[in-house]
């Protein structure tokens, strides 16, 4: 709890607050076990890791959740499902801070940078946070692969795992797990045993940005980004807090979402537009 006791006002409220315990159906008690590191290899890329994530699929109602922040999660009267954007706000702060602690030099990227530039908030209908971190070709292991990074996040109620890329999600050990978990959530499953499936909960994507002689290579980005398009970083505001992002964040987002990325559009629309680039 030392992290929460010495943190900002939100984290101190968690440390000294009284929150209801997490309730699960007997059939879904596996949710409470958390990641069994003695029975898994988190460094191995596998879709099986998702089942250790808290099966949390927050509300993505644009009108109700457009400006929701992590502070709303502290309200004992908060209705479930809680706003996904509020959960993402909490994930952003906690994972970003932990990345800084282990020397990752994180930045906002992709959809999280898009939300910051478009509205100064998280996109209410998305399920994840996108953070980038720097690495180099001669670096044996990146900062997010370290046991230190994983252990720190585990002590704060989060699980670090690899499925194609590195990711972070909440676990049942999180102090607010009982506050945000919706026991009635099924995601279409009629049974009481719903566990998080691939991409079926709220989480953080961690993208490596690798430095090379001809520029930076960003995981899941279609091309090479010139050095001066990445550094020096510029600042983006997310729910009133400042975070670094790419120097030419407009070029980054245009390459991924199309030149009219500022205009809100359905996922199917921007995929169609990308085909015209």
What confidence tens digit (pLDDT) does each residue in 62-117 have? 888 888 999 999 988 888 889 999 999 999 999 999 999 999 999 999 999 999 99
CA-to-CA distance for 261 and 119, rounded, in angstroms? 12
Rounded to 10 degrees, the C-alpha dihedral 52/56/62/64 comes to -150
CA-to-CA distance for 9 and 223, rounded, in angstroms? 41
CA-to-CA distance for 192 and 25, rounded, in angstroms? 6
Question: 213 is written with which tokens?
Answer: 């002689």
Mean residue pLDDT across the chain: 88
Q: According to the model, what pLDDT value does residue 230 have?
A: 96
Q: Is the pLDDT of residue 198 over 70?
A: yes
**51: helix, strand or coil:** helix
Q: According to the model, what pLDDT value does residue 273 have?
A: 57
**275: helix, strand or coil:** coil
Task: Give the rounded distance of the alpha carbon of 141 from its chain centre.
Answer: 21
CA-to-CA distance for 92 and 243, rounded, in angstroms? 10
Q: Is the pLDDT of residue 274 over 70?
A: no
DSSP state of 211: E
Range of weakest confidence among 25-29, 38-42, 124-128, 159-163: 38-42
Q: Is the distance from CB of 18 to CB of 4 less than 8 angstroms?
A: no
pLDDT tens for each residue of 174-189: 999 999 998 887 665 6
Range of weakest confidence among 4-8, 81-85, 110-114, 143-147: 4-8
Q: According to the model, what pLDDT value does residue 83 have?
A: 94
Rounded to 10 degrees, the C-alpha dihedral 125/127/129/130 comes to -90
Q: According to the model, what pLDDT value does residue 10 have?
A: 94
- In the chain, what's the furthest Cα-to-Cα distance? 55
Q: Is 87 left (phi over 0), alpha (psi -120 to 50) or beta?
A: alpha
Q: Is the distance from CB of 108 to CB of 238 less than 8 angstroms?
A: yes
Q: Is the pLDDT of residue 24 over 90?
A: no
């Amino acid at each position: 709890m030392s992290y929460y006791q010495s943190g900002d006002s939100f984290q101190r409220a968690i440390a000294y607050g009284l929150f209801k315990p997490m309730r699960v159906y007997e059939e879904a008690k596996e949710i409470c076990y958390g990641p069994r590191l003695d029975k898994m290899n988190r460094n191995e890329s596998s879709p099986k890791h998702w089942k250790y994530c808290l099966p949390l699929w927050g509300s993505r109602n644009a009108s109700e959740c457009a400006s929701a922040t992590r502070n709303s999660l502290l309200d004992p009267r908060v209705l479930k499902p809680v706003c996904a954007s509020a959960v993402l706000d909490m994930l952003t702060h906690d994972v970003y801070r932990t990345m800084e602690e282990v020397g990752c030099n994180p930045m906002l990227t992709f959809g999280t940078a898009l939300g910051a530039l478009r509205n100064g908030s998280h996109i209410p209908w998305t399920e994840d946070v996108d953070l980038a971190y720097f690495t180099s070709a001669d670096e044996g292991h990146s900062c997010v692969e370290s046991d230190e990074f994983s252990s720190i996040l585990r002590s704060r109620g989060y699980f670090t795992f690899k499925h194609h890329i590195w990711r972070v999600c909440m676990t049942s050990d999180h102090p607010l797990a009982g506050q945000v978990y919706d026991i009635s959530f099924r995601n279409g499953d009629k049974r009481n045993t719903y566990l998080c499936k691939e991409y079926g909960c709220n989480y953080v994507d961690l993208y490596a940005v690798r430095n090379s002689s001809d520029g930076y290579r960003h995981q899941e980005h279609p091309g090479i980004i010139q050095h001066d398009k990445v550094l020096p970083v510029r600042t983006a505001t997310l729910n009133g807090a400042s975070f670094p992002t790419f120097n030419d964040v407009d070029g980054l987002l245009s390459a991924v979402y199309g030149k009219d990325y500022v205009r809100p559009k359905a996922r199917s629309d921007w995929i169609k537009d990308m085909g015209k680039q």
